[in-house]
Structure 1
């Protein structure tokens, strides 16, 4: 297991599922002989509901999250250079973006099984404003592994509305100053709508890119599957030919074995007959030897009788 990838998965679990999953993975790491990984996993703290919602937002809306980080960089630069006009312009954009991200966060949380109340929504929005104000907070938020919501930076120019105003997100009041004021108000609304439209276009573009990537992956899988089928067909043909050869060899060997068995039976029969003949010849040999000894004894007796009579 890789610590970063495991942590990424853990922080996307619902908060009530986090601790049991973390402890189970740490125990597996110990059994696998990796105590350092187990220690790092045990050090991870269960996210609060607001932190979990922020993590969902980072992981599931990367384009919008990146837009918030970029906007924070612009706001901080305008603050450093005391560019009032730029601050006002970016302030209008940040209100539209924070409102959009807040709605997205609520929707993602509800899809994952948690309704977001007003207190949690305030913590989420305060985290978004902290990302705008503090580069360290932006870097921490972008990991998608918050355990606690982030605190805002009091007095930062980008935090124009108060928390209650941000949560309620009321419509902008009618601009003062007659026609000129109306044009200014229309400009503010146009900027907010343009920001929302840009993000919607980015989301649609990301959706199309994902579809193209999925289609490419599916095509590659189909091509690989077709190649696997061809390779299997080639192997099947080769194995079938080998099986046919083996069956022919088996039949030839069977015939040869039958022939050799018949020859062996005939040889055994001849051997049996020869053994009987040997027995008979030996019997006759013994009879001939007895007759020879008797004849020799008779001849010797006759010779002795002749010698006596002389």
Structure 2
């Protein structure tokens, strides 16, 4: 674990633990706070606001470090299996990787929702890609651990990712971010004896929000259904192709079996003809020998 001794790292730790709307005002306030230190102020000023996907991964690292640790442990085991060319273990770990990254991505979306940030499926895909990269690539894993990501990570599996290319502070390797507490629940609403004249409008607005939230879930479910239908269609087509090949092979086997029966019948007939011809040859040879003996007797 790396302690926070660098003022820039200390400031970055605070900034990248904030929500996205809080980030820019807080950064600008820090720049003003440290304006006496021109070098530090300049470095603070260029700290980039994280992308939404990077924010969600940073939030996950700060809110559920144990879950992220599990992801990285499975990733290390997967890399060792690849290096050792252990096929069975590699397939098992690959299944675990896909299940784990999908589950952890869903957990990250829930955490973002608790902090008032809606995460679309497209952003969730970037979060899952970042977690997958961290499992496959030690450099990506090091970047994720810092909780200071500014962009989502994708890994091609060729070469190791440079963590400095994705984190706010290039020399943050080994840094452990401050853990975030669960957000406090909102205070209970104040009760008023006087009826609210906007009550009906508020009810309509709340109902509209529920409709929009429900529609968002419908959209996500529709996307998932479309993907599942596409996979089903692809597998059905492959199944039909394989069945057609099996039927063709069976038909060919039946043809060959029929041809074999015909050849066996013809072979039996040919053997009988050959046996009869052999007997005729023997009889003719015996007659020849008798004729030669009679001729020799007459000539003596």
Q: TM-score, normalised by structure 1?
A: 0.48
Larger helix percent:
1
Structure label with greater radius of gyration:
1
Q: TM-score, normalised by structure 2?
A: 0.50
